Structure 1
Amino acid sequence: MIKKSSSGSGLVYSTESGRMCPDCRQPVAACICRQLAKTPAKTDGVARVSRSSKGRGGKTVTLVSGLALDALALAQLGKQLRAACGSGGTVKDGVIEVQGDHCDQVMQALAKQGHAAKRSGG
């Protein structure tokens, strides 16, 4: 028995192979999404620190991108940067977001940890 959704988004469930991964459309046992998530992105090793307020209702955030770290190490670094700034934030899609305009503090914290950092944007 094979079930398909009417919107044509692909195979959702099959008794032949069981549950299907929604991202890679492979059986969950053969899913490659976790392996792809573990490999860090190819970057030049320089952290880019910028300030942005687009799509956040006018609130300013400091963004740190371009670090060649895995997800766990990136989350740990994000926690340390947020603590250094005394602010909240998150890690999304390989980019650390720190609430507020803390570019200088983030640059200093990255330098203390041995990461090369550059300011980007305005």
Structure 2
Amino acid sequence: MDIKDQLKNLFPDHEPEETPIKSKEKNSLWLQDDPIICKYEKRKGKPITILEGYTGADEDFKKLAKELKTKLSVGGSFKDDKIIIQGDYRDKIMAILKDKGFAVKRVGG
């Protein structure tokens, strides 16, 4: 006997309301046809990962940058239509972007 049956026994006149299930959008970002380019560089001796080639709105790309930085717990910035992430996280970034539905192309190394 589950909880619903027990409640029916206690309150036989009560009719439960059906609440609509809100479907969360998994990805509110605009997906594109061309792949996002994921590059690795060294600047001043320190490794960085650069993402470029996004053709959607800048606000969406900034949201994506913030989400990547928080998931990876690293620093980074958004400049000149590029996301710059501190450190070499190409594999993790590519996995995150593929889960979101983006096409990603690895460049360099």
> With structure 2 as the length reference, what TM-score do the two structures score?
0.67
User: What CA deviation, in whole Å up to 9, does each residue of 1:19-58 have, x standing for no partner?
Assistant: xxxxxxxxxxxxxxxxxxxxxxxx86211111111xx311
Unaligned runs of 5+ in 1: 1-42
Count of residue pairs the alignment pairs up: 78
Alignment-mate amino acid for residue 79 of structure 1: K
The aligned residue for residue 35 of structure 2 is 46
Stretches of structure 2 lacking an aligned partner (at least 5 in a row): 1-31
Q: Which portions of structure 1, spanning 4 or more consecutive aligned residues, are displaced by more than 3 angstroms?
A: none
Aligned partners of 1:44, 1:114: CA distance in 2, in Å? 11
C-alpha root-mean-square deviation of aligned residues, in Å?
1.4
Match of 1:88 in 2: 75
1:107 aligns with 2:101: no
Partner of 1:121: 108
Compute the displacement of 1:86 (Å): 1.3
Q: Are 1:68 and 2:55 counterparts?
A: yes
TM-score computed with the length of structure 1 as normaliser: 0.60
Report which structure shows greater RCO (CA 8 Å, sep ≥6): 2
Percent identity for Structure 1 against Structure 2: 33
